[in-house]
Structure 1
Amino acid sequence: MHILFIGYGKTSQRVAKQLFTLGHQITTISRSPKTDPDMTHLLQDIQQLDLSQTQPVDAVYVLLAPSRNTVLSSVEAYQQTYVDSVQPIVAALKDHPVKRIIVVSSTRVYGENAGECIDDDTVPKPNDVQGQLLLQMEHLWQQAYPEQCVIVRPSGIYGTSTARMLKLAESTQSYPNIHWSNRIHIDDLAGFLAHLLHVEHPEPSYICSNNQAQPLHEMILKIQRELNLPELVLEGERETGKRIFAQRMVASGVELFNV
């Protein structure tokens, strides 16, 4: 199977390597040069994507992120990266026999912020412009590929670095409320995305999270205790954030290794 990756960052690289080991042919599209020798890398602007000389594409992964080196505002960058890119990509793929297209979005499309429980059956209701733009992107892809499109909504993605949490542990003396945090390890996200390619009858969308929502102050407090740092004081019992449950992901049979 010939698989095209549109956007080739850390997550895409992990997915592509897994699929290459299974014998698939991989082509990538990115803004900067890539050097993986086993894959074909195309340096293109997705707004003017040209796939006319590319071998027939059977499956597509879309994993885009706004450039950090931009003069655009966050909203403008989201509009350009997620929404404005759909039409030129669809146009470039029109002559390719795409059987599945997996588009990575975000749980930001769920605007709940008072400790509510969210699952795959929850209707997305964004509470900010960026979330609205992500949901608009999802709808555009589903309209373009109603049978082939699968939307994946990861919660907070983390990896091997602990620098951010260590900095919070060292600097946090108090926390204003109970804020629920939801996470998925980048390797588990990559494993699920690779797994989805081989699910015979996928759902239209999947939340991707480790199903272990935790109050952020408890995560910080645990590190403070492990390092004998001064312990934070929780100032209030009000709940913010949301508790996210990835039921469809679990039902698909995928196994998580970082929980």
Structure 2
Amino acid sequence: MQRVLIAGCGDVGTRLAARLLARGAAVWGLRRSARPLPPGALALRADLSDPATLRELPRGITHLVYAAAPAARDEAAYRRAFLDGPRHLLAALDTAALVRIVFVSSSAVYGEHGGGWVDEATPPDPPSFNGRVLLEAEAALAAQRWPATALRLAGLYGPGRTRLIEQIRAGRARAPRDPPFWSNRIHVDDAAAALDLLLKLPAPAPIYVGVDDTPLPLHELYAALAVHLGAPPPAEGPPPSGIGSKRLSNARLRAAGFAPRWPDARSGYAAVIDAAAASTASR
């Protein structure tokens, strides 16, 4: 039986915990807050940046999923979350039974590719501090004695992640059209499914790109959401900064057995919008 510690058990980690429990794994979720976990998961409250809080950790952990989120969007917070945190945790954890580490990274490690295709063989070229720190963290974990796999997730969306939806509803969203800016997404449930898959593989590759099947020009995604919301078409505007236009390929993850429930973010966002509307109407 797998004994899995999810360090940084937030939205994706909680969804992963539910999947693991359903297939009979023992699950611990470590987080700073006291938010509830799925029934059957054991909660650990600690701060990964503070070694003094990493006490009474479970013994016999076989798989570690490191899915921490920084406390702020600055380089110091990123370094605490992704460089100090793993070091503190591995120093405090009983690792006698540990067979694999899965690190939740980001496609922010890639830079500008002019709308070209990007996969695991594409050399990283992070344009901002967040991608640089994550790339450094990937290398640090790969240098440990335990096998490590990094899942480089694209932009997450799903229930409760309403910022983009509200911007489009209010007519504030902007996107370039010529040339188009290519965007990449993955639903939070599919991100959890990808992590679950990597924990089940006997010998996963060191790196996977976690993304759906359908890279989209940003203006096409925004226009589709505007139609679904009954909102004005998005106006033209500058591309997002610090990301880079590229089309991420999930071919390696697909070949390993990944089959996203939401292969296209247009239908995935539509389901999120419809579910939120139904929830509001039922109150």
Fold shared per TM-score above 0.5? yes
CA contact (8 A) 1:184 1:209 kept: yes
- Rounded to whole Å, the distance in 1 between the matches of 2:261 and 2:103 is 23
- Rounded to whole Å, the distance in 1 between the matches of 2:110 and 2:171 is 29
Alignment of 1:99 onto 2:99: yes
- Rounded to whole Å, the distance in 1 between the matches of 2:44 and 2:101 is 19
Percent identical across equivalent pairs?
28
Equivalent in the alignment of 1:59: 63
Q: Which amino acid aligns with 1:86?
A: P
2:245 alignment partner, one of 229, 238, 241: 241
Equivalent in the alignment of 1:81: 81
Within 5 A, what are the aligned runs for 1:114-129?
114-129=114-129
Equivalent in the alignment of 2:200: 198
Counterpart secondary structure, 1:85 = helix
Q: Could you give the per-residue CA deviations for residues 197-232 of structure 1, whole angstroms, max 9, x where no partner exists?
A: 111221111001013111111122223344554434
Q: Which amino acid aligns with 1:160?
A: P
Alignment of 1:110 onto 2:107: no
Alignment of 1:44 onto 2:46: yes
Q: Which amino acid aligns with 1:107?
A: S
Within 5 A, what are the aligned runs for 1:1-259?
1-36=2-37, 37-46=39-48, 47-48=50-51, 50=54, 54-68=58-72, 74-93=74-93, 95-145=95-145, 148-161=147-160, 164-172=164-172, 175-177=175-177, 178-227=180-229, 229-232=231-234, 234=236, 241-259=245-263
Q: Could you give the per-residue CA deviations for residues 73-106 of structure 1, whole angstroms, max 9, x where no partner exists?
A: 6111111111122221221235432111110000
Counterpart secondary structure, 1:125 = coil
Q: CA 1:152/1:174 → structure 2, altered by over 3 Å: closer, same or farther?
A: closer
- Rounded to whole Å, the distance in 2 between the matches of 1:65 and 1:143 is 22
Counterpart secondary structure, 2:143 = helix
Q: Could you give the per-residue CA deviations for residues 5-41 of structure 1, whole angstroms, max 9, x where no partner exists?
A: 1111010011111111111111121111143341221
- Rounded to whole Å, the distance in 1 between the matches of 2:94 and 2:228 is 55
Q: CA 1:176/1:141 → structure 2, altered by over 3 Å: closer, same or farther?
A: same
Q: Could you give the per-residue CA deviations for residues 104-129 of structure 1, whole angstroms, max 9, x where no partner exists?
A: 00000001252221112111111112
- Rounded to whole Å, the distance in 1 between the matches of 2:56 and 2:22 is 27
- Rounded to whole Å, the distance in 2 between the matches of 1:173 and 1:63 is 29
- Rounded to whole Å, the distance in 1 between the matches of 2:19 and 2:109 is 28
Unaligned stretches of 5+ residues in structure 2: 264-283
- Rounded to whole Å, the distance in 1 between the matches of 2:173 and 2:77 is 34
What TM-score do the two structures reach when normalised by structure 2?
A: 0.81
Q: CA 1:76/1:190 → structure 2, altered by over 3 Å: closer, same or farther?
A: same
Q: CA 1:138/1:222 → structure 2, altered by over 3 Å: closer, same or farther?
A: same
Q: Could you give the per-residue CA deviations for residues 120-177 of structure 1, whole angstroms, max 9, x where no partner exists?
A: 21111111122111100000010014x5101000100110355523422542486444
Q: Which amino acid aligns with 1:115?
A: G
Root-mean-square deviation (CA, aligned residues, Å) is 2.4
CA contact (8 A) 2:171 2:231 kept: no
Deviates more, 1:218-227 or 1:106-115: 218-227
- Rounded to whole Å, the distance in 1 between the matches of 2:230 and 2:11 is 33
Q: Which amino acid aligns with 1:15?
A: L
- Rounded to whole Å, the distance in 2 between the matches of 1:41 and 1:22 is 19
Deviates more, 1:78-87 or 1:158-167: 158-167
